[in-house]
């Protein structure tokens, strides 16, 4: 798995468990659960066994080995309205404190915060205010809301606008809470259908709110050419060597493209646990560098040189594809 970092960051290295399938270990299928509601209070089950230095799968744990964690909701969007109406989300990667506000909306170089060249992405993230090379808004909206479902839609760039949009093959959308909502520790969850196709790369993930990288938590990434293949990964940096490490697992959710499922991560002071339909599926001892609040990102990229089984877009890639999202929520751990 690759980091969705700014261009020029270090090449990621495999974790120590790669030789036994750390980065691609097919998991069990999970039945669809009735999890449509995001209650204000939530209790999750986590493993209590001692953690080693690397990540591990949680294989059919004995209920007696689990402990309950109580949480209360701190962020919620069930997408009954357009996501850009209430300032909860930004539609681009945030810049630094000296980044001119106008640079988000158009002109030469305005694509810098609207894709990650490092990843080989072939889309540009747009919104109705964005003008590409021009300073006049193009009115392109990749966000559609219907019956409480947000669709982030990727579509081939209209030929007449391709030059204005820096010759990107697709237009698509990203939503981020950087500078608007961030939290240290807690549970972060998306309920969504995972789109598929050549070059299709949906993701729900987190980065440090102070702009540093890593840490990075990839709560859910879809491998577009492997329907039902969901990958969950943690990224961190070794201070002594400055080398970036990662460790994670793939899980098979056969109906992920057609049915809504919950994908989440519980970040505690000592461990990070990944969940599918609120069942723990893997965990890792919290690596170094996770001492800052993190913010949430959800996006639909097109094309990748870093994530296996996504690939570059070609003639077989869908002309239009939607990442359907029912809700996104965050919870904080209750004080004992």
Any idea what the CATH number is for the domain that residue 176 is in? Answer: 2.60.120.200
**Residues 170, 123 contacting (CB under 8 angstroms):** yes
- pLDDT given at position 242: 94
For residues 16 and 22, give the distance between their C-alpha atoms in angstroms, rounded to a whole number.
8
Flag residues of the chain having pLDDT under 70: 1-37, 95-98
Q: Answer yes or no: 221 catalytic.
A: yes
Whole-angstrom distance, CA of residue 152 vs CA of residue 229: 20
Q: Is residue 22, in this structure, part of any structural domain at all?
A: no
CA separation (Å) from 284 to 54, 162, 249, 274? Answer: 6, 43, 11, 9
Residue 229 lies in a domain: yes
Choosing from 121, 169, 189, 221, the catalytic residue is 221
What does the pLDDT read at residue 36?
59
Domain-located, residue 21? no
Q: Are 57 and 27 in contact (CB under 8 A)?
A: yes
38 near 327, Cβ under 8 Å? Answer: yes
For residue 37, being part of any structural domain is answered with no
Question: For residue 310, what pLDDT is reported?
Answer: 97
| Token pair recorded at residue 138 | 């193009």
Supply the pLDDT for residue 65: 86
Residue 31 lies in a domain: no
Measured distance CA(219)–CA(1) in Å, rounded: 12
pTM: 0.90
pLDDT for 26: 40
Q: Which of 332, 289, 274, 336 is nearest to 71 (CA)?
A: 332
Structural domain containing residue 152: 54-333
In a domain, 285, yes or no: yes
Which position among 216, 245, 283, 324 bears the catalytic label?
Answer: 216
Model confidence over 98-117: pLDDT tens digits? Answer: 677 777 899 998 898 899 88
Indicate the number of domains in the chain: 1
Active site annotation includes 216: yes
User: What integer pLDDT is reported at residue 253 of this predicted model?
Assistant: 98
The string of pLDDT tens digits covering residues 107-149 is: 998 898 899 888 999 999 999 999 999 989 999 999 999 999 9
Would you state the structure tokens that stand for residue 219, as one six-digit string? 């709560």
**Burial profile 83-113: b = 16 or more Cβ within 10 angstroms, e = fewer:** bbeeeebbbbbbbeeeeeeebbbbeeebbbb
């Amino acid at each position: 798995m690759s980091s969705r970092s700014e261009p020029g960051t270090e090449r990621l290295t495999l974790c120590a468990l790669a030789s036994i399938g750390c980065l691609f270990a097919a998991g069990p299928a999970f039945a669809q659960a009735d999890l449509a509601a995001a209650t204000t209070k939530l209790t999750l089950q986590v493993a209590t066994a001692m953690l080693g230095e690397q990540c591990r799968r949680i294989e059919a744990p004995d209920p007696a080995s689990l402990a309950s964690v109580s949480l209360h909701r701190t962020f919620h969007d069930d997408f009954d309205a357009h996501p850009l109406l209430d300032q909860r989300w930004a539609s681009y990667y945030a810049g630094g404190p000296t980044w001119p506000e106008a640079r988000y909306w158009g002109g030469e170089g305005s694509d810098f915060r609207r894709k990650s060249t490092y990843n080989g992405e072939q889309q540009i993230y747009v919104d109705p205010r964005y003008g590409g090379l021009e300073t006049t808004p193009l009115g392109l909206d990749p966000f559609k809301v219907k019956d409480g479902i947000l669709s982030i839609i990727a579509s081939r760039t209209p030929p007449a606008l391709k030059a204005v949009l820096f010759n990107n093959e697709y237009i698509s959308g990203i939503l981020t809470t950087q500078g608007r909502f961030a939290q240290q520790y807690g549970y972060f969850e998306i309920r969504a259908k995972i789109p598929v196709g050549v070059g299709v790369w949906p993701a729900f993930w987190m980065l440090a709110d102070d702009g540093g990288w890593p840490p990075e938590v990839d709560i859910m990434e879809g491998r577009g050419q492997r329907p039902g293949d969901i990958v969950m990964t943690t990224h961190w940096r070794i201070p002594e060597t400055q080398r970036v490490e990662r460790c994670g697992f793939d899980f098979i959710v056969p109906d992920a493209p057609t049915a809504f499922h919950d994908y989440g991560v519980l970040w505690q002071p000592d461990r990070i646990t990944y969940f599918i339909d609120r069942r723990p599926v893997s965990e890792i001892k919290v690596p170094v560098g996770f001492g800052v609040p993190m913010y949430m990102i959800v996006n639909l990229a097109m094309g990748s040189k870093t994530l296996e089984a996504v690939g570059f877009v070609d003639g077989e890639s869908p002309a239009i594809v939607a990442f359907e999202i029912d809700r996104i929520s965050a919870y904080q751990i209750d004080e004992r």
